Structure 1
Amino acid sequence: MNTLNQKWELDTIFKGGASSAPFRTFLDDLQQAISSFKNELEARKEPYTVQDAEAFTAMIKKYETLCKQFNEGSAYVECLTAQNIKDAKAAQANNRMQSLGAELDASSSILENLLRQISDSNFNGLIENGVLKEMQFALREKRELSRKKLGSDQEQLISGLAVDGYHAWEDLYYSLVGKMEIKLIRNGKEETLSVSQANNLLDDPDRTVRQAAFNALESAWSEHADLFAAALNHIAGFRIAAYKARGWESFLDEPLDYNRMQAQTLSTMWSVIDRYKPKLAQFMQRKAELLNLEKLSWFDVDAPLNKNSEKLTYEDVADFIIKHFGSFNPNMASFAKKALENRWIEAENRANKRPGGFCTNFPIAGQSRIFMTFSGTASNRSTLAHELGHAYHQSLMNELPYLSQDYAMNVAETASTFSEMIVSDAAQAAAKTKEEKITFLSDKLERCVALLMNIHARFLFETRFYDERKKGTVSVERLNQLMSDAEREAYHDTLDVYHPTFWASKLHFYITNWPFYNFPYTFGFLFSTGIYVQALREGPSFAGKYDALLRDTGRMTTEQLAERYLGVDLTEPDFWSSALDYLMRDVDEFLELTK
């Protein structure tokens, strides 16, 4: 592949940035349309009946259009704020998007209230015919969830207050992180790095570099811990107050509803994982021995075993991904090639970028954009494959009604982790020497550690934090203790140095739109592993079934999806055990090769 531009292209979405005339006009028109729609909903005094089918359909279609427009603008602003966290105009646009989001939420609350008022017979008649038939799962879900909420006036009040009393804390977090400068000594010279750049050093081949980066990051997070603790406490406090008003007894009610999964499924998944952790701990101990350590430290978990591994080029990574996507499904390969060549990916390694990676979608343009920071590591290759999986998933849904494209986060992680597996297994198979095989096995098992141990630590921390937050504000010292305890438990005490300020460093704890932004990753990893096992068993014919499964992720519950396409019951341990059995084969092979 020819040299690829690592900076994404946004001008085909809106030209000129956050303050450009086209984008300002777009936001003005959207604000007016949302206001008009809200007035229309409020004017409706009588419940809809089957005789109102035309008006009801028009109302739903108008709502669908507003959702598409809002998410188009929201995705654009997300890209602008991520590519330059110090972009003040983008930050202002983000504030406006949040205000528009609150207004759209208010309209959604009125709409849900109207759906709730319709009799069962009339509701069934309205949604089971015509253009709404394909949206009926989404409409039924909205109606059922509305019954768990307060009246529309109260929900509108919550949405309105959330702009400055809830979402603003997330904005503050990003602003604080954007201003942080990580100072460390490397190769005898003092460097000033962004958080993202310093994080990339945590898998450097040189342990002194990893340790210096970790210590510098830990020091920076500790220095500002009181501010991060305030943000985290207030985000949780707002949620708890809203849940109490609605009569929701568990703080897991919202994330479970959002992920369309049963509590029993989540409980079964974690309990099965716990049974396999001693096996994964064997890998951790062997890796420590190979690094001449008694135990791994937090900053050793992702350390490369091959210190002389060459840096990967962006072009080589792109070619590798396209080639091996094609071995499973040519459609995936052609899509990845299109995304790379059309500059849908922001990968430049530069200062002032937001940490982490994501994929966001533009529903009107029918395009996606991927954000990451590429520094030539195997981990970067996995990240790119992961995010391209997200984008491919969305591409399969673009022709569906927009309300039927709203898939939950847990199944959203299916395509991304499946894509990672394709690339990871291909890298392992391409290994020519014993040392290369060991390296690739280590990379794969480090991903297992991240998704089965690190994510579990986040879940344990957040669960216990919310329990304590119900009683009052949780101090920095207590947050550090809760985090350290969760890490020791989740990692089966395999480390000698933990990361007590991880609660401050992990932006997922501060995302206000999705509570408990953790367990869906583990679910998606194991769910995709189970699918991958079936794909290997069935061969090329499975590609069509895989695409159909992804296309239906916005139209079924998690359990229904698994039953229809895989024939499994997720509330029982068998499926989870089969996925983990497959993953643990890598531990056995790693231990055998490193005897």
Structure 2
Amino acid sequence: MTSDINSVLQAPSWTMDDAYVDIGAPRYEASFRRTGELVDALEASKSPIAHDALPAALSLYDEAVTLSSSLGSFLKCLGAKDSGNDAVPAEQSRLNALTARLERAAEPLFAALEEIPADDPIRAVPPLSDWAFELEDASRHWKRRLSASDRDWLGAFEAEVFKPLGETFKTLQKGVDFEAENAHGEKERIRAAKLVSVIKGAPDRTLRANVNAGLNASYGARADLYAALLNALHGFRLAAFGRAGVEPLSVSLHQNRMSEGALRAMRGAILKHIDTVRDAVRVRAPYFGDTRLKIYDLMAPAPERGKTEVPPLIPYAEGIGIVKSALGNVHPDMAAFIDMMLERRWIDAVLSDAKVGGAFYSRFNEFKCPRVFSSYTGTITTVLQQGHELGHAFHYWVMRDLPTVQTEFPMTLTETASTFNEAVIRAHLLEKAASRDEVFGMLWQEMRSCANFLMNTMVRMDFELAFLKERASGVVSARRSVELMRRAWTDWYGDSTDGADDYLWAYKLHYYKTDQLIYNYPYTVGYLLSQGLMHALATKGKDFYPFYTALLRDTGRMTVDGIIEKHFGADPAGEAFWEDCLAAPLAAVRRFKAEFSDPNVR
């Protein structure tokens, strides 16, 4: 079945020949060896490090981070492409051990850097000048509250125990293997990658319903395993945070470079209009003959009037053509970038049962080139997904000439370019709509995005915060996890859906990432900032593109609050800014409700 669909879609596969080729290849081993040499040199440095030796020592660390991050991205790509590649976990463990040594070896360096007076001329000397923002930010990192011996122990424990736990999720995902019947009465094999693709908006409602039933059965039967893993991950975090005297949310906010005031203001602005946001769900239920939307219809594509069969697939060339046309209207460079990604084979979108679920962008800092990973299924949802991930890649591309440390933007700002791309594509398709049905289709997409970014991500945040709170008092059972999810779901969705997505906490990869904590609200931030960018696009004309690229280039050296203040001229801790960003999505909901509330007069 997968091979048949691939022959229709003709989605691209990536190459790694211009990167590390494979584990054990000469280029891979050379970079690994060089990283080890840099770590050896840092470990051999005399402590305390002399004042005039600081630039050279930081240069060693900078190069080591560039190489190790590239190697880590490469392993992530290999593991995503083939979840059964047993060499990846072993190699990841080897890299984790090396990076743990690197961080321990850098302790004296950063201790010395913290002692440099603010007016010391050495701060203006590269690479210290390149690291100015990062050094200031790092001084507030929660681990700085720990003693040197505690940090040393924690680094070793993370490398040997905590980070490998993240790989356990991939192992559990191999247990997702069941059959689901489609609208043609055919049985389809559902593995983790395909499951994610289907629930993200497969056009076949019969398949969606049956996959949802299979999802609940599969994860329900193994819920204790996922709960045990989540307890282990958060239990470790809470023990470490307790030692440092910090709260999980403050750690996440620092990691995402956002103030709690800005998060509260954003949340407050959404809740002020929650009834209208819920309408983005309510208005779609009648199109499926329901009064409340089924969970498996939340991300469903727009139903076609008078048609019961599954809509035709969109070949990849046609889908990426839509993306290029939309983004090319913003600036030709954005379309040319996609052509380059395709020509250099930096995109992998072909379907495969061996792939992990989901989609992501990554980059190899050593070679200054990005990669985009997904499973393209020929739906408008996965067309938008291509635009989303290519937004991430473009974000990096316009800043690749900067020092590596200044290209490390937080997840809150990572999601800005990606969701902006989605907004541009939806607006493009709406503008080009030649019929009322096409207008309906694009407004439907707006309803999906509005509900997903303004409620679903917030549900995920509230669940995680509630889980962390209860985990501080003991182990949280699988049954209790379902209860917490249902409570968070009801708080946001109200009665707009038929039940809750009970096992969202089990199948959502973001909960099991070891490099991110509470990785959900960043999507909401990115979505709302993208709406602010859409307003700027409409008002700045030819000045928009330089404004946009300047904003993107600042994302690795400024906070979310700083970006909003500098580039939007607004107060991030005030609800007014976030309400301005909400204006367009809420207007789309009201328009859909006014024009398409009755399926019979569509």
Please give the range of the TM-score, normalised by the shorter of the 2 chains: over 0.9
Q: Does 1:13 align with 2:39?
A: no
Structure 1 stretches of at least 4 aligned residues deviating more than 4 Å after TM superposition? none
Q: Write the distance in 2 (CA, Å) between the matches of 1:22 and 1:130.
A: 28
Confirm whether residue 258 of structure 1 aligns to residue 255 of structure 2. Answer: yes
Do 2:180 and 2:207's aligned partners in 1 also have CA atoms closer than 8 Å? Answer: no
1:467 aligns with 2:473: no
1:30 counterpart residue number: 35
| Alpha-carbon separation, structure 2, partners of 1:567 and 1:119 | 33
Cα root mean square deviation, aligned: 1.8
Task: Say if 2:429 is the partner of 1:427.
Answer: yes
Distance 1:509 1:348 in 2: 26
Rounded Cα–Cα distance in structure 2 between residues aligned with 1:512 and 1:557: 22
Q: 1:45 aligns with which of 37, 45, 48?
A: 48
Structure 1 residue aligned with 2:94: 96
Question: 2:484 corresponds to which residue?
Answer: 482
CA offsets 1:13-50 (integer angstroms, 9 cap, x no match): 012x223343234323322322332332xx2226x54x
Partner of 1:286: 283
Q: How much has 1:130 moved relative to structure 2? A: 4.9
- Larger CA deviation: 541-550 vs 200-209: 200-209
Distance, in Å, in 2 between the alignment partners of 1:205 and 1:147 is 47
| Cα distance, 1:129 vs structure 2 | 4.1
Give the corresponding residue for 2:4: none
- Equivalent residues of 2:361, 2:393 under 8 A apart: yes
Of 262-271 and 155-164, deviating more is: 155-164
| Aligned equivalent of 1:496 | 498
2:371 counterpart letter in structure 1: R
Kindly tell me: are residues 242 and 147 of structure 1, through their superposed partners in 2, closer, same or farther at Cα, counting changes over 3 Å? closer
SS of aligned partner of 1:193: strand
Distance 1:109 1:525, change over 3 A: farther
Cα pair distance change 1:412/1:139, threshold 3 Å: same
Q: 2:402 aligns with which of 400, 416, 441?
A: 400
Which residue in 1 is equivalent to 2:600? none
Deviation of 1:115 (Å): 2.3
TM-score w.r.t. length of structure 2:
0.93
The equivalent of 1:134 in structure 2 is 130
Q: What residue in structure 2 maps to residue 158 of structure 1?
A: 154
Contact 1:434/1:593, CA 8 A, preserved across alignment = no
Among 360, 363, 372, which residue is 2:362 paired with?
Answer: 360
Larger mean Cα displacement after TM superposition, 292-301 or 87-96: 87-96
Of 251, 265, 270 in structure 2, the residue corresponding to residue 268 of structure 1 is: 265
1:341 alignment partner, one of 333, 340, 343: 343
Q: 2:420 maps to what in 1?
A: 418
2:558 paired residue number: 556
Q: Partner residue of 1:71? A: 69
Residues 1:176 and 2:172 are matched in the alignment? yes
Mark the CA change 1:5 to 1:314 in structure 2 (over 3 Å): closer, same or farther. Answer: closer
Q: Partner letter of residue 172 of structure 2?
A: L
The residue identity in structure 1 corresponding to 2:137 is E
Residue in 1 that maps onto 2:298: 301
CA–CA distance in structure 1, aligned partners of residues 203 and 341 of structure 2: 31
SS in 2 for 1:168: helix
Residues 178 and 125 of structure 1: CA distance in aligned 2, closer, same or farther (over 3 Å): farther
Compare 585-594 and 31-40 and name the one that shifted more: 31-40
Is the CA contact (8 Å cut-off) linking 1:110 and 1:152 kept in structure 2?
no
Residues 59-97 of structure 1 deviation map (CA, whole Å, 9 limit, x = unaligned): 111111111101111111111000000011122222222
Counterpart AA for 2:537: A
Corresponding letter in the other structure for 1:462: E
Structure 2, unaligned runs of 5 or more = 1-8, 598-602
CA distance in 1, matches of 2:238, 2:396: 32
Q: Is the 8 A contact 1:178 1:354 kept in 2?
A: no
- Measured after TM superposition, the shift of residue 284 of structure 1 is 1.8
Q: Report the Cα offset of residue 369 of structure 1.
A: 0.4
SS of 1:184 mapped into structure 2:
strand
- Measured after TM superposition, the shift of residue 594 of structure 1 is 1.0
Deviation string for 1:233-290 (max 9, x for gaps)? 0100111011111111x21111111111111100110111111221122232221112
Deviation string, structure 1 residues 370-394 (Cα, Å, up to 9, x no partner)? 0000010111111110111111110
Equivalent residues of 2:195, 2:357 under 8 A apart:
no
Q: Write the distance in 1 (CA, Å) between the matches of 2:154 and 2:345.
A: 39
Per mean C-alpha deviation after superposition, the further-off stretch among 151-160 and 302-311 is 302-311
Deviation at 1:227, TM superposition (A): 1.1
- Contact 2:463 2:484 (8 Å CA) reproduced: yes
The aligned runs of 1:365-404 (5 Å cut-off) are: 365-404=367-406
Q: Give the gaps of 5 or more residues in structure 1.
A: none
Structure 2 residue 218 is the aligned partner of structure 1 residue 216: no
Matched with 1:125 is 121
